[in-house]
Amino acid sequence: MSERIGVLGGTFDPVHNGHLVVAAEVRHALGLDRVLMLVAGDPWQKRGRVVASAADRLALVATAVADVEGLEPSAVEVEREGPTVTADSLEALSAPGRELLLILGADAVANMGTWRRLDDTRGLATIVVVERAGDLDVDPPGDGWRVHHVRVPRIDVSSTECRERLTTGRPVDGLVPESVIAEIRRRGLYAPPR
State the nearest-atom distance from the C-beta of 2 to ligand ATP, in Å. Answer: 27
Compute how many other C-beta atoms are within 10 angstroms of the C-beta atom of residue 109: 21
- The interface with ligand ATP within residues 86-105 (CB under 6 A) comprises 104-105
Confirm or reject binding of residue 159 to ligand ATP (CB under 6 A).
yes
Site string for ligand ATP, 13-52 (x = CB under 6 A): -----xx--x------------------------------
DSSP 48-88: TT--S-HHHHHHHHHHHHTTSTTEEEE-TTTTS-SS--HHH
Element (H, E) at 27: helix 17-30
How large is the C-alpha radius of gyration of the chain?
16
Confirm or reject binding of residue 155 to ligand ATP (CB under 6 A).
yes
State the nearest-atom distance from the C-beta of 161 to ligand ATP, in Å. Answer: 7
3-state secondary structure of 113: helix
Identify the residue among 6, 10, 41, 177 touching ligand ATP (CB under 6 A).
10
Confirm or reject binding of residue 57 to ligand ATP (CB under 6 A).
no
Cβ closer to ligand ATP: 92 or 155? 155
Element (H, E) at 35: strand 34-39
Identify the residue among 32, 64, 108, 138 touching ligand ATP (CB under 6 A).
108
Confirm or reject binding of residue 150 to ligand ATP (CB under 6 A).
no
- How many alpha carbons lie under 13 Å from residue 115 in its C-beta half-sphere? 21
Summarize the chain as % helix, strand, coil (round to 5): 35, 20, 45
Confirm or reject binding of residue 160 to ligand ATP (CB under 6 A).
yes
For ligand ATP, the binding residues (CB under 6 A) are 10-12, 18-19, 22, 104-105, 107-108, 155, 157-160
